[in-house]
């Protein structure tokens, strides 16, 4: 990605985190802890993205050239692979907090433990903590579990009166953003593992789609914060 494209994604991430912080300070009746965890996770994402820029910055700025010979400057997969595990676990946990059925909560809890064990063992003992690419197992398995968790959430919404007010529910916007993101990016990610290095045209398409999906994802969060804050303000 170009510097401009990266800046665009980081900007939307930052906007979502700032709006989330404002939402937490302005809301009145929303006692749902999941919204607080979401905002904390967004700020974690902002931080990780900034650290992930070190390899690029160490090449562009002489003041940071000393990072080139360290693990910080050689690659950023060392932070993105663990972050991806945390990210997928968070979204599964977020959906778990917003489903009502104890059965569904227990299912998501078991799946989270299973995912954590499998991906941690794979990252430490198989692919290596300092792998030279994103972990396919972490991403693909995590995406499937997230889509399942979001499916459980939507199923409960459709089966209850909540659907009448879904437009003013923050989890709805999170679920939409995460579902669309993973539905589109997962097959592209799988394809890229086999063909990206021999197909520059695919890389351009893949990069463009990633930018659009990231903008869509964080726009969903921002829209959710704004609309749900207006709902609370109306009280």
Q: Where are the alpha helices (DSSP H) in 52-135?
A: 54-60, 71-74, 77-98, 102-121
Across 187-206, b (16+ Cβ under 10 Å) vs e yields eebeebeeeeeeeeeeeeeb
pTM (2 decimals)? 0.90
Contact partners, residue 132, CB within 8 Å, separation at least 6: 75, 77
If we measure between CA atoms, which residue out of 14, 29, 54, 64 comes closest to residue 221? 14
pLDDT at 33: 84
**Cβ neighbours around 233 below 10 Å, total:** 10
Predicted confidence (pLDDT) at residue 235 exceeds the cutoff of 50: no
Count of the separate structural domains present in the chain: 1
Higher pLDDT, 129 or 204: 204
pLDDT given for residue 141 in this prediction: 96
pLDDT > 70 in the chain, percent: 85
Q: Find the helix or strand (DSSP H, E) in which 30 lies.
A: none
Q: 132 in helix, strand or coil? A: coil
Measure CA of the first residue to CA of the last residue in the chain; give whole Å. 44
| pLDDT tens track for 13-37 | 999 999 999 998 876 455 568 899 9
pLDDT computed for residue 234 by the predictor = 45
Q: Calculate mean pLDDT across residues 38-49.
A: 96
Residue 13, classified by CB atoms within 10 Å of its CB into exposed (0-12), middle (13-18) or buried (19+), is buried
pLDDT at 222: 96
Range of the domain at 50: 3-234
Name the token pair of 109.
Answer: 């809890």
Encoded tokens for 7? 């800046």
Measured N-to-C along each axis, helices 77-98 and 170-195 cross at an angle, to the nearest 10 degrees, of 140
pLDDT of residue 72: 63
**Length in residues, the chain:** 235
Tell me the per-residue pLDDT of 126-155, one tens digit each, with 9 for 90 and over: 887 677 788 889 999 999 999 999 999 999
Mean pLDDT of 120-128: 87
**Is it the case that residue 118 has pLDDT exceeding 90?**
yes
pLDDT tens-digit profile of 158-203?
888 776 677 778 999 999 999 999 999 999 888 877 766 677 788 8
């Amino acid at each position: 990605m170009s510097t401009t494209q990266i800046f665009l994604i980081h900007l939307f991430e930052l906007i979502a985190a700032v709006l989330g912080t404002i939402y937490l300070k302005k809301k009145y009746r929303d006692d749902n802890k999941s919204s607080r965890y979401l905002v904390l996770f967004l700020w974690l994402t902002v931080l990780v993205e900034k650290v992930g820029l070190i390899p690029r910055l160490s090449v562009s700025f002489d003041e940071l050239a000393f990072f080139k010979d360290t693990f910080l400057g050689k690659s950023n997969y060392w932070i993105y692979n663990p972050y991806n595990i945390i990210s997928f676990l968070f979204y599964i946990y977020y959906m778990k907090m917003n489903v009502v059925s104890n059965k569904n909560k227990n299912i998501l809890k078991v799946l989270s433990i299973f995912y954590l064990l499998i991906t941690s063992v794979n990252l430490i003992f198989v692919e290596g903590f300092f792998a030279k690419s994103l972990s396919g197992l972490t991403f693909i398995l995590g995406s499937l579990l997230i889509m399942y968790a979001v499916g459980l959430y939507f199923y409960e919404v459709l089966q209850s009166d909540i659907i009448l007010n879904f437009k003013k529910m923050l989890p709805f916007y999170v679920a939409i953003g995460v579902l669309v993101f993973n539905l589109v990016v997962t097959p592209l990610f799988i394809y890229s593992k086999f063909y990206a290095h021999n197909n520059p045209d695919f890389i351009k398409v893949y990069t463009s789609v990633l930018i659009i999906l990231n903008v869509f994802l964080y726009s969903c969060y921002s829209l959710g914060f704004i609309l749900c804050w207006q709902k609370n303000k109306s009280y």
